[in-house]
Each structure stands twice: as C-alpha cells, then as structure tokens.
Amino acid sequence: MNELIKTLKSCGYDAHFVKTKKEALELSQTYIKSGLSVGLGGSESVKEIGLLDYLLNKKDITLFNQYEDGISMDENIKRRKQGLVSDIFVTSTNALTKDGKLVNADGSGNRVAAFSYGPTNVLVIAGVNKIVENLELGFKRVMEVAAIKNINRINNKAIEMGKEPRYNLENIANKFSWVKADDKDRIIIILVDEELGY
C-alpha cells in the first residue's frame, strides 16, 4: 500500500492511507474547515465512515445537500450546481487504478464533473475494494460492480416507498470519466484499509 500512496503523491494527489473507518473520519474532518462551502457526490463510502452525518450536523459550514428530504427537483438541481463551485466536494470513486487514475460513472453528471473542474478541492473516501490494476479494469468495475449495486440500492429504496423502480444501466451510468490529478493537491484521497461502498 505504501507503493500505491507513493504513486498517488507523485501523480499530484494529497494521498493518505488509514487502517480504519474511524481514522478516515478523523482525517477527513481536518479538511472540513469552518466557513467552507461543501458539495456532495452520492457516496455510500462517505456515509459508511460517518462523514455524511458529520457534515449534516456541522453548523459552521454551508452544505449543498441535494439529498435533503422534501426539496423540489428544482432545488435539487440548484444544489448540485452550487456543489460544483464549492470550496470542497466530498465523494468517493468507483475505481482507483494502480497508476493513479480515478474512474467514475454518473447519472446526472455532477460527480464526474467535479473531479475534472470546479470545486477548489475534492475529497475522495475510498476503500481498498476500489483498487484495480488498470483503466480497462476500472471501467469493468464501474459497469459490473458499482453501477449494478447502485441500481439495486436505488430501486429497492423506491419499492420500499411504494414507487416504481426506474433505474437501469442506461440512466445511472451514462456519463463517464477518468481523471488524473491536475493542480497539485487539489484532489485529496483517503484510502481506507477496509471495504467501503460500491
């Protein structure tokens, strides 16, 4: 793992390796400074380490939370756009290649966009299950693991709420990107020695 972190740093990431979810939460909190605006990309990993709850309860930041219950679709879209010009955008990645590429697919596009341009910083929480050998295997993981699990999660939630399931590969994974760090330390990666998210 030391070799991967060394590679990620040489690519321009602010990269860290921690052993537990607790350590990941503690380290991520150091990047969420008072007064910052914070955008969100959908991420089970962010939830699993407790960072989403931390953000929701932190009163001295401006959180653009498009997932808030009861907001209109217009407000949802507005918050997604605000997140793209935030001080820090908090998310995960669908895959991380051993040579330092972040591979992602998205439905609306705000998450893949944030990796490329917009937020001052992007904070990525990723479990070791996201590591793949190369770009080809990164896209394979996106389509055969991450997208499928996300479709099932969202459709099951809809069914529980008495709604029709409506997500499939065509509308949940229709915008793709792979990026390598651009501005030095703009993208922060906290790699956790546990399986997180999809």
Which pTM does this prediction carry?
Answer: 0.91
Q: Which two tokens stand for residue 39?
A: 């955008």
User: What total number of domains does the chain contain?
Assistant: 1
Provide the domain limits for residue 134.
2-192
Task: Classify residue 198: in a domain, yes or no.
Answer: no
pLDDT tens string 19-43: 999 999 999 999 999 999 999 998 9
pLDDT tens string 128-182: 999 999 999 999 999 898 888 777 776 666 566 677 766 667 667 778 999 998 7
CATH number at residue 122: 3.40.50.10420
E-assigned strand segments in the chain: 14-18, 37-40, 62-64, 88-91, 95-97, 102-106, 121-127, 131-132, 175-179, 187-192
Task: Classify residue 145: in a domain, yes or no.
Answer: yes
